[in-house]
Amino acid sequence: MELYANRFYAFLNRPLRPRARILLALLVIPLGLSLLYPLWRIDMEAPQYPTGLSLEIYAYKLEGGNEGRHLQEINTLNHYIGMRSLDRDALRDLDWIPFALGGLAILTLRVAAIGNVRSLVDLVVITTYVSLFAFGRFVYTLYVFGHNLSPTAPVRVPGFMPAVLGSKQIANFTTHSLPALGSLLLGVFVLGCVVLLVHQLWVGRRDAVRAHAPRAPEPRPVHPLADVRP
């Protein structure tokens, strides 16, 4: 058992293959582009809004549809039910996301340049943690918005959980909440890192099996006259 553990630790210190380094560096492109596109999109439909209302959440800003007018309409509706206004100050918990994405980009380029298999494992672990933590904070923020309603609001509505994925009916509004292009680009980056790690582990195991496979004994040379009997 100790022998296999030592072999595995030795494999973790092996440098990445050149092709893996190139692919890892290319994955920084979708990671950087995710800052330019919305991470999440929320659409609201109601009889009084036949064309609907839309809200896009970027890593660094909120943007309403119809040149920002939809955000004003949504905040007006939120005021009637006692919900806080949706603005960047209200979503300050998400301000760390651009810095986290920048840190991931720098770390990825470092692993691509001078990293080994161990550093790729660290990159996948950190990337997975940042992704899950960001999504968890987003869900928690929506929960706080839907449950911390003002008791003096003109319209009394019981606390609710806004839609996170899919559609949900709230009063006379149907809300649709889905990942946008920015999240899809982040997904490409995360999935690409995981696939590269799995491939590196598979290749390492294959090479180790080949290196330690028992070799067949070489055939002994036979003299041409060995079978000739006197």
Residue 58 clears pLDDT 80, i.e. is over it: yes
Kindly report the pTM of this predicted structure: 0.82
Which of residues 228 and 47 earns the better pLDDT score?
Answer: 47
Residue 123 clears pLDDT 80, i.e. is over it: yes
Q: What mean pLDDT is predicted for residues 95-121?
A: 92
Q: Determine, yes or no, domain membership for 215.
A: no
Q: Determine, yes or no, domain membership for 158.
A: yes
CA–CA dist 9, 11 (Å, integer): 5
Q: Determine, yes or no, domain membership for 213.
A: no
Helix pair 117-147, 2-12: axis angle to 10 deg: 80
Residue 214: Cβ within 10 Å count: 5
CB 104 within 8 A of CB 126: yes
Q: What is the pLDDT of residues 165-224, one digit of tens each?
A: 999 888 788 899 999 999 999 999 999 999 999 988 887 766 665 665 555 556 666 555
| Type of residue at 44 | M
Domain housing 124: 2-208
Q: Point out the least confidently predicted range of 66-75, 117-126, 187-196.
A: 66-75
If pLDDT is split at 50, 70 and 90, which confidence band does 84 have?
confident
Q: Is the dihedral of CA 184, 190, 193, 199 positive or negative?
A: negative
The per-residue pLDDT for 142 is: 87
Residue 157 clears pLDDT 70, i.e. is over it: yes
The per-residue pLDDT for 216 is: 54
3-state SS record for 88-139: CCCCHHHCCHHHHHHHHHHHHHHHHHHCEHHHHHHHHHHHHHHHHHHHHHHH
| Type of residue at 197 | L
Q: Determine, yes or no, domain membership for 218.
A: no
CB 40 within 8 A of CB 177: yes
Average pLDDT over the chain, rounded to an integer: 84
Where is 192: in which H helix or E strand?
helix 181-211
Residue 197: Cβ within 10 Å count: 18
Residue 177: Cβ within 10 Å count: 19
Residue 229 clears pLDDT 60, i.e. is over it: no
Where is 170: in which H helix or E strand?
strand 166-170
Q: Determine, yes or no, domain membership for 100.
A: yes
Residue found by looking up tokens 């606390």 in the block: 159
Residue 71 clears pLDDT 70, i.e. is over it: yes
The per-residue pLDDT for 13 is: 82
Q: Determine, yes or no, domain membership for 221.
A: no
Domain count, the chain: 1
Q: Determine, yes or no, domain membership for 230.
A: no
Q: Determine, yes or no, domain membership for 39.
A: yes
Residue 188: Cβ within 10 Å count: 16
CATH number, position 72? 1.20.140
Helix (H/G/I), strand (E/B), else coil: 183: helix
What radius of gyration, in Å, describes the C-alpha atoms of the chain?
28
CB 31 within 8 A of CB 186: yes
Q: What is the pLDDT of residues 34-56, one digit of tens each?
A: 999 999 999 999 888 888 899 99
Q: What is the pLDDT of residues 6-30, one digit of tens each?
A: 666 677 788 888 899 999 999 999 9
